[in-house]
Amino acid sequence: MTELLSVLDAMAFESCQTLASTPAVRRVPTGDEQEPSELVAVIGFSGDLLRGAVGLTGTREALRATHPATLAGETTNPEQLDDWLAEMVNQLLGRFKAHLHRRGVGIWMSTPLLLRGLSLSVASSGDQVHRYELVLSGGHVFTFWLDLNADAGLTLGEIAEGDANTPNPGDVLFF
Amino acid sequence: MGPRILVVDDSATIRDQVRRALQPAGFEVFDARDGIDGLAQLDSAPDTALVICDVHMPRMDGLEMIALLRDRGDRRPVLMLTTEGQPALILRAKASGARGWIIKPFDPMLLVKAVQVLSSPPAVR
């Protein structure tokens, strides 16, 4: 893996860690088989020199068990579970985007879309596709992947002082 | 029932989370799925005290919605709730008339405090 891809991989890994709130994230080695899913949430992104997509899968059981409504003692319906998967992938890409921004790279995100199928999985493709397993509360596993296409001219800047002050998840700003 | 709050977000999960945080604190919460729906809701509920709004949404995003509200002379406070953290975007929202910005995921207690501050009438000295 090139140094650039290594840094991008580290950004993605850290994004997963902050979503999980625990360090229960594992890089899935290239070539490892992925458990097929019936539901995948995908978001595309693009910038001047970087583009790609991220995706997140999880079982219905995992989605139900980790849904905020379930954690609040309420029941959920299938539409809520779909939406929860979409919201999680949105937050994951949002964190990745924040990391990129701190290094001077901007990307534009689409809104999440859900893919339904009988057996959906991501092909492992060398340096282009990075996969991570996130273990959320109750031991429920989700798989996140990042499919990257970086132009040869892409460079990551040092974290500028201003960008170091970019707000973090949970921050509240008043104007 | 306390002040009426509109939450505008294409994510039902977020709309539910905001409702779950604010209702126990005495707020009346109703919601919209995007900026177009949000504008329609505000037109039919002039007593809305505060809008909580996502940035990226289908049909009309949050910044477009704020700009249209201000063009209409609507000065109700808007609090952005989003995964976005780019300073340029935050400045743009501030220039458009937003009063605050929260990065998802939010702390329910901080959300309640922010809403209490922004939905309260200004002190008169």
Say what the ipTM of the complex is: 0.86
Neighbours of A128 (CB within 10 A): 15
| pLDDT, tens digit (0-9, with 9 covering 90-100), for B90-117 | 999 999 999 999 999 999 999 999 999 9
Q: Contact B11/A91, CB-based, under 8 Å? A: no
Q: What is the pLDDT of residue A31?
A: 76
Pairwise CB contact (< 8 Å): A95 & B14: no
- The pLDDT, as a whole number, for residue A157 is 86
Q: How far is A112 from chain B (nearest CA, A)?
A: 10
Mapped onto helix, strand or coil, the DSSP state of residue A152 is: coil
User: Whose structure tokens read 């702390």?
Assistant: B107
Q: Per-residue pLDDT tens for B2-20? A: 899 999 999 999 999 999 9
Average pLDDT over residues B55-63: 93
Banded pLDDT at A137 (limits 50, 70, 90): confident
Question: So what's the pLDDT on residue B85?
Answer: 87
pTM to 2 decimal places: 0.89
Mean of pLDDT values over A16-25: 78
Shortest distance between the Cα of A98 and any Cα of chain B, in A, equals 6
Nearest to A55 by CA among A119, A142, A168: A142
Decide if A111 and B114 are in contact by the 8 Å CB cutoff. no
Residue B43's pLDDT band (boundaries 50, 70, 90)? Answer: very high
In this structure, what token pair is assigned to residue A161?
């002082």
Q: The dihedral of CA B90, B92, B94, B97: what is its sign?
A: negative
Asked whether residue A104 carries a pLDDT value surpassing 80, the answer given is yes
pLDDT band at A93 (very low <50, low <70, confident <90, very high): very high
